Amino acid sequence: MKALKERIMRDGKCFDGGILKVDNFINHQMDPILMKSMAVEFVRRFASTDINKVLTVEASGIAPAIMVGYLLELPVVFAKKKEPSTMENMLATSVFSFTKNTSYTVCVSADYLRPGDRVLFIDDFLANGNAAKGILELAEKAGATVAGMGFLIEKAFQHGGDELRALGIHVESLAIIESLDNCQIKLRD
């Protein structure tokens, strides 16, 4: 998606260790007009996919997910990264974060991820795909189907996308980073 790629090249900041910071328009400050345009692009790419719910993980996934849900007029559920004491019928899984070198829990209530649900999962980044695989696990526990996964930015060199596609998941990423070697952002055309 052209507008996103241009924005990454303009405002993305590259750090050692394959880190891309997009704090200026996605992860801390958000550009709502761009968010809406990205949501429209997801709607287009998943136009022939049968879904009844949008699913994301707090916190940076919420903005693109709510825009997609708004356009499709579908409920949006955000999985939580810690276990709220008041959550009923909790489904949980553990996700290992390479970036932070630690595991965290992702949980969702079975009240809102239900047998038969066909969910579109939306998130900001796809890197090694551990969070996405956690979502697949939660969906399986719930008896729900992940009908598609949409990411704003995929880091192709961390291969999570390859793994998800090999599982037969319909994955769409709006911008794909081939490499961040030598702190140069190299986008796939």
Q: Return residues touching a second copy (CB under 8 A).
A: 15, 19, 21, 23-24, 28-33, 35-36, 58-59, 62-63, 66-67, 69-70, 73-78, 80, 86-87, 108-109, 111-112
Min separation Cβ 27 and a second copy, Å: 9
Task: Give me 63's structure tokens.
Answer: 């903005």
Are 96 and 62 contacting, i.e. CB atoms less than 8 angstroms apart?
no
Write down the least CB distance from residue 70 to a second copy, Å: 4
Rounded (5°) CA angle 157-158-161: 95
* Residue 153 CB, nearest approach to a second copy (Å): 16
Nearer to a second copy, 14 or 163 (CB): 14
Q: How far is the CB of 165 from a second copy (least distance, A)?
A: 28
CB-wise, 109 or 130, nearer to a second copy?
A: 109
Give 110's contacts (C-beta < 8 A, 6+ positions apart). 89, 90, 91, 141, 142
88 Rama sector, left if φ>0, alpha if ψ -120 to 50, beta otherwise: beta
